[in-house]
Amino acid sequence: MRDNLADLAARLRGEGLSVRENADGAALTTFRTGGPVGLLVDAADREEMLLALRMTAGTGAPRRILGNGSNVLFGGGGFPGIVIRALPGEAELVRDEDGFGILGAFAGTLLSRTANLAMEKGFAGMEALSGIPGSVGGAVYMNAGAYGRTVADVLLESLSFDGENTVWIPAGEHRFGYRESIYKEEPERTVLYARFRLEPGDPAEIRRRMQEYALRRRTSQPLEFPSAGSVFKRPAGYFAGKLIEDAGLKGFRIGGAEVSPKHAGFIVNAGGATPEDVFRLIRAVQKRVYEKDGVRLEPEVELLGDFLCEEELPWNS
């Protein structure tokens, strides 16, 4: 496979794309740990994204689309395939005939950038999402949300590539659910671009709400450490952080990975954590919570590649 990827890398470079072989996986995620990625292809806009997707199709190598890497962990053994990374890029906002703001952004554009643009232009709706450290594409992919608001509340449509054609998908056809969407159900689809419909508002009030959300994050979340945000999905009828805290796991460490003493729903890289430290800690938390409360915590973080350890799920052992 290595020779095939080297040939592919040469072809991609020949088309003007930015390519790196054996890229540092730690630099690609907000966890700041991870093994090497076989081939990293960077795409700066829709055209480069489409070119990369088409040229890397049918290789037989595993392939993953990445934005800011805020919900991903690569194993220490590396990811032997292809990662196409959408870089922070274009965003624009126009007023439609009804007075609403239509904010369009490339998949790699950070949510914080879209929220700031909306604030500057006097349009509301992105405030609660402004502190999510992810990209537009990733946010649509997983219906990201915070403080009672999700992407589903503001999305107008997304531009999708299904491996053959590009098509605009209206918001109502995204099959949105809790951290779910058509993109998760149909992994052959890729988000290229998204448009959001926002209400007009007072820029000063929008700024005030954004500052309020930012303060709430700073006081309740361990933003001073690398992490992937909330590690586990919210189980029906429970809050993951409360279950973990009640299990006595705040501050529990394996190597350099730690259940945050500030917010038990976060696992942080407290210094020198390996991917296996994080992986083992995830499994340890799942085991303890399951044994105490009978609740199966499901990771929200995607675990990719080869993890150099084997930790059984408590309900499979």
- Known catalytic residues are 179, 230, 300
Which residue type is seen at 9? A
Task: Please state, in angstroms and rounded to a whole number, the distance separating the CA atoms of residues 313 and 90.
Answer: 42
Phi, psi of 101 (to 5 degrees): -95, 130
Neighbours of 248 (CB within 10 A): 12
Task: Please state, in angstroms and rounded to a whole number, the distance separating the CA atoms of residues 175 and 164.
Answer: 21
Task: Please state, in angstroms and rounded to a whole number, the distance separating the CA atoms of residues 189 and 179.
Answer: 16
> Which H, E and C letters describe 70-121, residue by residue?
CCEEECCCCEEEEEEEECCCCEEEEECCCCCEEEEEECCCEHHHHHHHHHHH
Helices (DSSP H) in the chain: which residue ranges? Answer: 2-14, 46-55, 111-121, 136-142, 182-185, 203-220, 240-246, 275-293
